């Protein structure tokens, strides 16, 4: 027990809130602080995703023009997802589909699936001397169809500036069913600007389409917001550990994402330099964002058998100072 403080939340901890007004009215939020400058907001009603992330007062993520949007406003028709795409630091895409809307074996699948617009059925937090842990259960299921369960654990260290995410996805149905997951992690201003340094030590990178191919030689160069900018996506593959980072030299801060590239064997870089639509997506996943139908056609679709479970995990580490940035990017 720290004898210098009255209540533990004076220094660090979790505080729970509900939003009032607008399309986010009533949404449950958990504000987490580690007492070292790392703060983030977990959206209980949006798959326990991370709505906001800041480090030592500097914003890290991108908050879209939609703002907070409650699941009741979710539109699963075509690209209706974009009407409620808060983005935030993390939006989980899946579990039935990630990426382009499509029809796969007669099943109509919306853009990026629906898990990111699904409230946690059960969420709670605990802490000890080393970390804060948030546990959430989210169900993606339909009558006469799939029965998938996501059990998520978020770990926030109290001794280092890191967040770890562990997801256990289980097929609780009576038939084999595909599972797609893409961690749509969104970098925003002031972490993201034309001055930002982007680090993705992939062994191979390719453009998603002709538009992206036009900028393939400078996929890691950011630019000022541009009117009418058309998004560019790049697919990276890793031969070793999966890593991706961004650093803002003028602010002296950044972050590094790390993951098992054998498990999350796809990585998408979403470069969107538009005015107000100014965001860099660093997105590990078990699939690319061209939709489930394309993954099945390519023979790369992941299938879960009844009662089978798969575990995915990643870590986000804050970077303070150029010296630390050079150290974590030294291969």
Please give the C-alpha separations between residue 183 and each of 114, 225, 268, 298, in angstroms, as whole numbers: 13, 24, 9, 21
Q: Are 137 and 283 in contact (CB under 8 A)?
A: no
Output the pLDDT for position 232: 98
Domain boundaries, the chain: 11-328
Output the pLDDT for position 78: 79
Output the pLDDT for position 240: 87
Pick among 2.40.30.10, 2.102.10.10, 2.70.98.10, 1.10.287.610: CATH of 11-328: 2.70.98.10
Neighbours of 174 (CB within 10 A): 9
Distance CA 328, CA 331 (A): 8
pLDDT tens, the chain, 331 aa long: 688 989 988 989 999 999 999 999 999 999 999 999 999 999 999 999 999 999 999 999 999 999 999 999 999 997 899 999 999 999 999 999 999 999 999 999 999 999 999 999 999 999 999 999 999 999 999 999 999 999 999 999 999 999 999 999 999 999 999 999 999 999 999 999 999 999 999 999 999 999 999 999 999 999 999 999 999 999 999 998 999 999 999 999 999 999 999 999 999 999 999 999 999 999 999 999 999 999 999 999 999 999 999 999 999 999 999 999 999 998 7
Within a 13 Å sphere around the CA of 148, how many CA atoms are in the beta-carbon half?
26
DSSP string, 149-213: EEEEEEEEESSSSEEEEEEEEEE-SSS-EE-EEEEEEEE-TTTSSTT-EEE---SEEEESSHHHH
Output the pLDDT for position 6: 92
Output the pLDDT for position 2: 81
Instruction: Please report, to the nearest 10 degrees, the dihedral formed by the alpha carbons of residues 200, 204, 210, 213 taken in order.
Output: 60
Please state the pTM of the whole predicted model: 0.97
């Amino acid at each position: 027990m720290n004898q210098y403080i009255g209540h533990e939340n004076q220094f660090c901890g979790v505080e729970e809130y509900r939003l009032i007004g607008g399309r986010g009215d009533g949404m449950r939020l958990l504000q987490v602080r580690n007492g070292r400058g790392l703060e983030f907001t977990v959206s209980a009603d949006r798959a326990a995703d991370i709505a906001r992330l800041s480090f030592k007062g500097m914003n890290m993520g991108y908050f879209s023009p939609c703002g907070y949007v409650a699941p009741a406003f979710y539109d699963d028709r075509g690209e209706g997802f974009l009407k409620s795409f808060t983005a935030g630091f993390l939006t989980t895409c899946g579990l039935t589909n990630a990426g382009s809307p499509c029809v796969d074996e007669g099943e109509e699948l919306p853009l990026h699936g629906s898990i990111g617009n699904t409230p946690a059925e059960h969420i709670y937090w605990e802490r000890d001397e080393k970390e804060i842990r948030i546990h959430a259960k989210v169900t993606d299921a339909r009558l006469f169809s799939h029965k998938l369960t996501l059990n998520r654990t978020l770990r926030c260290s109290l001794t280092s500036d890191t967040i770890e995410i562990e997801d256990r996805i289980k097929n609780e149905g009576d038939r084999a069913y595909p599972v797609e997951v893409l961690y749509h992690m969104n970098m925003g201003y002031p972490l993201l600007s034309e001055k930002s340094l982007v680090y993705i030590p992939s062994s191979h990178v390719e453009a998603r389409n002709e538009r992206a191919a036009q900028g393939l030689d400078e996929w890691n160069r950011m630019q000022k917001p541009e009117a009418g900018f058309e998004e560019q996506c790049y697919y990276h593959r890793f031969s070793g550990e999966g890593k991706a980072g961004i650093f803002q030299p003028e602010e002296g801060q950044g972050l590094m994402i790390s993951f098992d590239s054998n498990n999350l064997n796809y990585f998408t870089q979403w470069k969107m330099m538009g005015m107000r639509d100014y965001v860099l997506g660093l997105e590990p996943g078990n699939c690319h964002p061209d939709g489930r139908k394309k993954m099945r056609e390519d023979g790369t679709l992941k299938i879960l058998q009844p009662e089978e479970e798969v575990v995915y995990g990643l870590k986000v580490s804050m970077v303070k100072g150029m010296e630390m940035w050079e150290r974590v990017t030294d291969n």
